[in-house]
Chains A and B, each alone.
Chain A
Amino acid sequence: MMQSLTTRDRDKWLEVIKKVPSADCYAHPELGKMWEASYPYSFEAVYAEFGDKVIFYPFLVRPLIELPFGKKIMEELGPCFDITSPEYGGIFHNFEDGVPYDIVKQFNEEFGEFCKRRRIVTEFGRVQVLLSNTNLGPGYNVRRMGKVVWVDLTKTPEELEAGMTKEGRKKMRKAVRDGVSVREMGPEGFEQFPPLYYQTMEYHTAAERYYFPKSFFEAMERMDEKFCFILGAYFEEKLVASIIIIQHGGVAYSYLSATNRDYQELRPNNLLFFDMLLKCKERGCHSFVLGGGAGGEDGTYLFKLNFSQLEKDFFIYDRLHIPDLYLKLIELKTEYEHNCSHEDFDPQSVSFFPIYRAEWRPGENH
């Protein structure tokens, strides 16, 4: 029988994930703090126990009133929601040989009922890359979306350095020679990070969704230091690059990073990333997920390959829970885009899921 949890049930949540060694920071209630403090979202989870075996599924519930045509949705359809994974996610479990099909199917059906009751129209997520648990059962559409780079932190620091590309090592040594140093930042780091981060997002002309509000970073500051910490690369006591790391269950992730372009020539990121790996190793992590690129194997991806050549396939999944409402939401989205003079908006040609959340840029392939 499936049970549900919210971050208010923190003790129970922690008790359940304690049984699942693979549950990392994306399954931890601490993560909910930053989302719930800044967005009208709720971080929730469902789980089912079968003796000492557990299936655990964490997710973010988002109200659709946050969409630009949210008022219209409320007027015509009433409150509607959807689900996404907080970056990576999917199902975490402690079955040795994978979850048996009948259990996945039952869990899947009960979750479908849960979503219908809650008026959750769609579900979208990114599968935790080291687990690659794509066995989600009927109703789910799983797609491969390229690759991510990860680092095996069970290696010694010397082996990690030797595992870097020649060019990566060269740039890292150059940064040291030029006087760049890396250190862990205290709570002030989360105040210094946002301006540098917004500057970086502007440089990359990032989509609006990447401009997290200041409250998001303030919430990170309040998070358990064992769970979330920040590193800074300094040159002559000036912060030139910084990175926020989240970790739990032996797996660490580089969550957000920022660089001052004026100091790009010092290559502070090469040193920052390497020191980040060492810090996470010191903290007892066995794996570090560097992630992928912004669009396939681009410059960001190639930069990450400097630190490790270990790659994993990256999968996304989606599921439609209330088809009637989904089609109505697409109609409202189309009406909204056409009213915004995007006459060429054609929902059938939008590959983004769910279609009603697509950011339409006329003339581009979607």
Chain B
Amino acid sequence: MSGLKIDDISMRFDLPNGSHVQALQNVSLDLKSGELMSVLGPSGCGKTTLLNIVAGFLKQTSGEIILNDKKVTGPGAERGMVFQQGALFEWMSVRKNVSFGPDMKGMPKAKSNEIVEHLLDVVGLQDFKDKAVYELSGGMQQRVALARCLANDPDVILMDEPLGALDALTREKMQGLVLKLWKETGKTIILITHSVEEALLLGERLLVMAPRPGRIHKEYRLPFAEMGVGGDLREVKKHPDYNSTREEILAMIWDMEEEIMGRTDGAAA
């Protein structure tokens, strides 16, 4: 079966004082090839832990990750990752950053150059290819990160709050870019975000997770990503369903946050 299967994943961190934290409990999920899923949840719900397990940076306590019929046991080039910020290699030019994956694989220069040129065109950084990455703005740097990830042609792209550090305007532009790349490349994408709006716009499927223990709370299938491709994201936001879903999810997360706060208050008393 082609696609990503997250099968009954649990993650338990044992603390030195003998207690433990159940970061994830029995999380199961199937992603078909080419699906775009956003993951939302209050802090501490284990969404980053889940992403790190899929990426292979963490080893789950139980359960399996299966990508294209192969078990995931560690990090690999077929699962690309885009981080919030600061994951670019500042000692390399934009071009070198983008060609990092192909270079590591030992791809011939001519071929990797072709890929890099194409991707720089796609993300609109053709004029900046010989600049150092620290000379670019935050939004441009994230475009480099996207291009770098795509250059490796991964099956799945894992995004850990990739737009979290950007200002509102840049962020909106970048959301459009992510949608465009998703549609053009047909990649499976999992995107973690803190922003409900972003999750609505960038999720064919939207996963709301709940904390303590980290688990899937509710899943939505949404039309907005499809609507947003090539269109105006602000138009999508005017859609009545968009607003009602947003309110619903906001209320849900708000409740969870309240519950946590209430619990901590109770513990203090």
On whether the two chains bind one another, the answer is: no
Chain A residues with CB under 8 Å of chain B are: none
